[in-house]
Amino acid sequence: MMTVSGQVKQTIASLQGTKATLESFAAIEQNTRTKQELHKNIARIEGVIKDMEKRLGVLEFEEPQYKGF
């Protein structure tokens, strides 16, 4: 059974992969408007990642036995 902190870490890793994919698309996209939309969504994902990393810090502080898992 995966802990909540484990699930958050897994979600962060998945979001980082999604961000990398969008960055790859943005690097090769020729259409300026599409490129702008990709960058806008990259920024949104970065915000979600930062929020989840903060939440993970709180979880690990509250439940230190899960730190590092």
Yes or no: say if 2 and 10 are a contact pair by the CB < 8 Å rule. yes
DSSP category for residue 66? G
Instruction: Please write the tens of the pLDDT for every residue from 22-68.
Output: 999 999 999 999 999 999 999 999 999 999 999 999 988 887 776 65
Name the residue ranges covered by the structural domains of the chain. 31-64
| Entry pTM | 0.84
Closest Cα partner for 26 from 14, 17, 16, 36? Answer: 36
